[in-house]
Structure 1
Amino acid sequence: MRDFWFIMKRYLPPYKHLLVLNFLFNLLSGLFAVFSVALMIPMLEIILSQESEVFTLVEWSFNFSDIKHNLYYYITLLKTNYGPGWSLLFVGVFLIIGTFLKTGFTYLASYASIGIRNGVVRDLRQQIYRKILDLHNGYFSDERKGDIIARSTGDVQEVENSIMSSLDMFLKNPVLIVVFLAAMLIFSVKLTLFVLVVLPLAGLIIGRVGKSLKKTSRSGQNKMGDLMGIIEETLSGLRIVKAFNAEKRMNQRFEGEVEEYRSIMDRLMRRRDLAHPMSEFLGTIVVVILVWFGGTLILTETNTISAAGFLAYLGIFYQVINPAKNFSKALYNIQKGLAAYDRIDNLLSAEVKIKEVANAKSINDLKEGIEYRNVTFAYNHTPVLKNISLYIPKGKTIALVGQSGSGKSTFVDLLPRFYDVQEGAVLIDGIDIRQLKIHDLRNLMGNVNQDALLFNDTIFNNIAFGVENATLEEVEEAAKIANAHDFIMATEKGYDTVVGDRGSRLSGGQRQRISIARAVLKNPPILILDEATSALDTESEKLVQDALEKLMANRTSIVIAHRLSTVRNADCIYVFQDGEIVETGNHVELIEKGGVYKKLHQLQMG
């Protein structure tokens, strides 16, 4: 339960006012519940028995016996003047009023707790999403995307269903139990002390069974993460699955995971469903023992508790049983929810490695150039870049070429601080980029990648992505520069056309030109092109290449290319091999050297 209180301490402070209201309404609900049951005593003792009639009035005081005495006096007076029937109706009206107030305050307490529950779940979802945005790219390389999705959706839903649904029970039940126990003490101290000895024994048995749920539930949540991972992989690679006739293989793999998940959930739900029958059975045992003990007191001792008082006492005790049963049910649910929260907390507590230093410097333009100074970088201890040094003057275009895995993409990922270098430094205008504000740094750059990622939104919103308050005229102008305006206008709704998941309703060349238009609209001083034309057909490549040349004009550009024909006009070409720069020069110079670049060129030219 320590983990549960930690979660409450972490997320409840913004809702203190609702907690106070919830406590107040639950307290009033409990008081009027006791009042409703207590009204049964005069009905039983006066209307059905002549022995409890009272004909004298005592001075009013804040004393239970004096209040009871005077209440009996007025009911006796009413019975004498109007008869037993009207007396019964009179007490019944008060019972209706008491019940109305009780149920009304119960609703108001639930009304307040709903605001707490939904607010906490909203805060948790927002915190997870912000964390996903803050985490460095390397985190998602090490984790399965399906598992992260499961934590962000299924686990949050489990926390909502288990912990947050139990929150109302924890806010309400302790208050009701305290009120009812206080009323029971007023009726009979001996009986209540006896109950306080027996009830905790039953609660201890229920609690021991509930603890075993957490481990089983965590296994179920982990397995759900595996299932989400398989589904995500299948959706991403469905074309490959079908092309290699691997449907049976994937189906067998999925069925095996589903069967394991079913087995885990069988064990979990059977233990969870044991809560209600066990609590009901133990409650019945407690009631039988209480009736036996109370009946013995009535029969063997005088001046302890009357028969009518004992019946009312049992009525209040039954009011205690429901909160106690709900309390045990809440314990079961919380153990299940804590397992889900553990997985969420692993995500929330992940280290944010790309941090902004205190008093970071602002930057809004590139004035001199970019420098990589003795840069070394490794993902898992194996260096990907080895002591790289180069300088890119403002307004120049450099190209990075080399075999796959030689470190080109890693090189450009260091510039916007998707990763931080282990040794050396990357500088802009002589300032280490780790000393700059991250937002300002990335605002200097525009990216056009091989995989032109579009969002499932309109063409307008995809082009205006990241640009505040862009107008239609500005978006259209950017699209014209990117050679995209004509095909956009040919679509059904023009710039309001939705492109589908990852831009699936558009061709590769169309997606690429929209991503170029996005970069044009941002108008960055630094441009990063990562294989922007490699996946296109000849006609699309020509259109895209023309758009890129317009985009690169008067900008500092870093171009990664496998097609050497696209970088012939670069101011300088850097040839990467095994994480090192092995050759430098323009196209003509590198051909004349007769080294790695010439070999790559000859291979491409046939």
Structure 2
Amino acid sequence: MKDFFLVFKRFVPPYKYNLASSIFYNILHAIFSGIAMLFAIPVLEVLFETTKEVHHLLPWELSKSIIQNNLYYYVTLIKLKYGVTVVMPFIGGLLLIATMFKVGFAYLASTQMIIIRNGVVRDIRKKIYNKLINLPLSFYSEERKGDVISRATGDVNEVESSIMSSIDMFFKNPILIITSVAFMLILSYQLTIFVFIMLPIAGWIIGKTGKALKHKSREGQQKMGVMLGIIEESLGGLRIIKAFNAETKMKDRFGFEAESYRRIMNKLQRRYALAHPMSEFLGTIVIVVLVWFGAYIIGNEESSLSGASFIAYIGIFYQIINPAKQFSTAYFNIQKGLAAMERIDKILLADNKITEKKNAESISNYTDKIEYRNITFSYNNEVDVLKNVSLTIPQGKTIALVGQSGSGKTTFVDLLPRFYDVQSGGIFIDGHNIKDIKLFDLRELMGNVNQEAILFNDTIYNNITFGVEHATEEEVIQAAKVANAHDFITATEDGYHTKIGDRGSKLSGGQRQRLSIARAILKNPPILILDEATSALDTESERLVQDALENLMKNRTSLVIAHRLSTVRNADMICVFNEGKIVETGTHDELIALNGIYNKLHSMQMS
């Protein structure tokens, strides 16, 4: 249970006042539960006509004998004056009042735990999402997207339905048990000692049964992550699956994982289903033995335990049985929830290597140059993708990066906004190492237009203003006009307030790309990164997008990755990458005259 209390310590402290209120109400609930059962003793004795007549009222004190004496005094008084038929409603009224307070305080305690439970689950969801947003891109290259989604959804639901639902039991049931034991000791210490011997034995048996539950639950959650991954891949690649007649292959793959998940869950749920019957059976054994032992005590001539008191004792003991049974169910639940929490912690406790220094510098613009100084970089400390690369980019110039796929171009530009950090060397803006600059300020200097236009399932207006606070409608329209997007936007049903579907699925490739360009124009960054922005477009769309890009690149420092060399002929400098190094630099004409790798690539495209 150590892991459970660690989870409690991490997430519950913000709700300490609600927790204190719940404990207070649970104490009152437990006290009135015991009082309600004690009021049942006179009722039983009246029914069985064993009520002692007491004719002297003693001064009130917090003492069992005095409280019992005075209670029987009033019972005797009413019995002698009005008869037995009136005594019953009198005692029954006291019982009802005690029960009303009992259930009322139970309700108040539950409302406080509801606040804690839902608040903690909300906090966990927010922490996961915030962490997912903050984690570097390298984290996602090592994780299956489906498994990440499974942890952020299914595992959080598991924590909610297991650990959080069990917190109420851990702060209500011990109070109820301790208070009930106190009342049991008042009635009969011999029977109570006997109970202390029997219950730990039952608890040990339940604990042995639930030992393997956590491991099986973790297996099931991992398998669910695999299935969600297959579903996500299938939806994203549905066109290819159909084009290659691979429906049967994918169905078989998913069916195999679903069957494996079924077998795991059968084992898990069979063991979980055993919790209630086992606790019920063990509780019945304890009751049977307790009744036998109670009958033995009552039969003893020296015993002070009456039949009515013994029945009340059994009633109070039943108030322990249910919490004890709930403890066994909670134990099984917590084992499942802890397995889910371990998977969630793989996200929450993941190391974010892209960190910001404590006294990081603020920067709002730059005026001179960007320098890559002897950069070396590899993914996961494997083969170097960039090898001792150096480059100076003057402010306001357009730099084209060309070369074969896998030569390091995209990695080169991804290092500038610190999507990844270099292993050696450094990148400098106006002489400031980018690791010394605030991350927000660094990325605020840059705008990105990628090969795949990344849009969101929202309106055109909100996609253009994404990441730009307080943009006016006039500024948005102007940005769309510069991006050659205004005409097609106004032709849609709701204009700028048209919803574009998942990833902009309602728009053509060229339209999506022009929206992403409009978004970059509205941001108005001094540094622009274009990664194959026109390579996936037809000729007409490419022309429109190319015109928009030329509008965007005016008076900005631009890093342009291109495979189509015709799109970068007019760049101020072209850098040719090969196997992680810059092997040629110059203008288009200079590189053609050099008759090297660039000329070879150009000749292949022209032919």
Q: What is the aligned partner in structure 1 of residue 292 from structure 2?
A: 292
**1-structure distance, mates of 2:457, 2:435:** 33
What secondary structure sits across from 2:287 in the alignment? Answer: helix
Letter of the 1:536 partner, please give it: L
Question: Which sections of structure 1, spanning at least 5 residues, go unmatched?
Answer: none
Q: What is the aligned partner in structure 1 of residue 551 from structure 2?
A: 550
Q: What is the aligned partner in structure 2 of residue 460 from structure 1?
A: 461
Q: What is the aligned partner in structure 2 of residue 237 from structure 1?
A: 237
CA-CA distance at 1:47 after TM superposition: 4.8
**1-structure distance, mates of 2:169, 2:501:** 44
CA-CA distance at 1:529 after TM superposition: 0.3
Q: What is the aligned partner in structure 2 of residue 106 from structure 1?
A: 106
Q: What is the aligned partner in structure 2 of residue 406 from structure 1?
A: 407
Alignment check: 8 A CA contact 2:479 2:522 kept:
yes
Letter of the 2:236 partner, please give it: S
Equivalences for 1:64-463 in 2 at 5 Å?
Answer: 64-380=64-380, 381-463=382-464
Letter of the 1:560 partner, please give it: I
Over 3 Å counting, the alpha-carbon distance change for 1:545 and 1:311 in structure 2 is same
**1-structure distance, mates of 2:507, 2:100:** 62
Question: Which sections of structure 2, spanning at least 5 residues, go unmatched?
Answer: none
**1-structure distance, mates of 2:86, 2:412:** 92
Over 3 Å counting, the alpha-carbon distance change for 1:270 and 1:206 in structure 2 is same
Over 3 Å counting, the alpha-carbon distance change for 1:594 and 1:33 in structure 2 is same
CA-CA distance at 1:301 after TM superposition: 4.1
**1:149-186 deviation digits (Å, cap 9, x = unpaired):** 00000111111111111111112111111111111111
What is the aligned length? 606
Identity of aligned pairs, percent?
A: 63
Letter of the 1:256 partner, please give it: F
What secondary structure sits across from 1:211 in the alignment? Answer: coil
**1:464-517 deviation digits (Å, cap 9, x = unpaired):** 000112121111111111010110111111111111111111000000000000
**2-structure distance, mates of 1:130, 1:50:** 69
Letter of the 1:428 partner, please give it: I
**1:418-441 deviation digits (Å, cap 9, x = unpaired):** 000001000000111000000000
Does 2:568 match 1:563? no
What secondary structure sits across from 1:558 in the alignment? Answer: strand
What secondary structure sits across from 1:305 in the alignment? Answer: coil
Letter of the 1:48 partner, please give it: F
What secondary structure sits across from 2:210 in the alignment? Answer: helix
**2-structure distance, mates of 1:225, 1:243:** 27
CA-CA distance at 1:532 after TM superposition: 0.3
Letter of the 2:578 partner, please give it: Q
**2-structure distance, mates of 1:500, 1:46:** 75
Q: What is the aligned partner in structure 2 of residue 578 from structure 1?
A: 579
What secondary structure sits across from 1:400 in the alignment? Answer: strand
What secondary structure sits across from 2:546 in the alignment? Answer: helix
What secondary structure sits across from 2:60 in the alignment? Answer: coil
Alignment check: 8 A CA contact 1:46 1:72 kept:
no
**1-structure distance, mates of 2:60, 2:596:** 109
What secondary structure sits across from 1:39 in the alignment? Answer: helix
**1-structure distance, mates of 2:509, 2:208:** 59
Equivalences for 1:588-603 in 2 at 5 Å?
Answer: 588-603=589-604
Alignment check: 8 A CA contact 1:146 1:225 kept:
yes
Q: What is the aligned partner in structure 2 of residue 488 from structure 1?
A: 489
CA-CA distance at 1:303 after TM superposition: 3.7
**2-structure distance, mates of 1:131, 1:261:** 28
Does 2:66 match 1:60? no
CA-CA distance at 1:128 after TM superposition: 0.7
Does 2:541 match 1:540? yes
Alignment check: 8 A CA contact 1:572 1:586 kept:
yes
CA-CA distance at 1:46 after TM superposition: 3.8
What secondary structure sits across from 2:96 in the alignment? Answer: helix
Alignment check: 8 A CA contact 2:297 2:303 kept:
no
Alignment check: 8 A CA contact 1:46 1:53 kept:
no
CA-CA distance at 1:304 after TM superposition: 3.0
**2-structure distance, mates of 1:106, 1:222:** 38
**1:108-136 deviation digits (Å, cap 9, x = unpaired):** 11100000000110111111111111111
**1-structure distance, mates of 2:151, 2:589:** 54
Over 3 Å counting, the alpha-carbon distance change for 1:301 and 1:199 in structure 2 is farther
Letter of the 1:237 partner, please give it: G
Letter of the 1:299 partner, please give it: G
**2-structure distance, mates of 1:458, 1:483:** 18
**2-structure distance, mates of 1:574, 1:51:** 104
**1-structure distance, mates of 2:472, 2:82:** 83
CA-CA distance at 1:35 after TM superposition: 1.2
**2-structure distance, mates of 1:26, 1:472:** 57
CA-CA distance at 1:193 after TM superposition: 0.8
Higher mean C-alpha displacement, 298-307 vs 377-386:
298-307
CA-CA distance at 1:50 after TM superposition: 4.6
What secondary structure sits across from 1:415 in the alignment? Answer: coil
Alignment check: 8 A CA contact 2:11 2:120 kept:
yes
Alignment check: 8 A CA contact 1:195 1:290 kept:
yes
**2-structure distance, mates of 1:259, 1:74:** 70
Q: What is the aligned partner in structure 2 of residue 519 from structure 1?
A: 520
Using structure 1 for the length normalisation, give the TM-score. 0.99
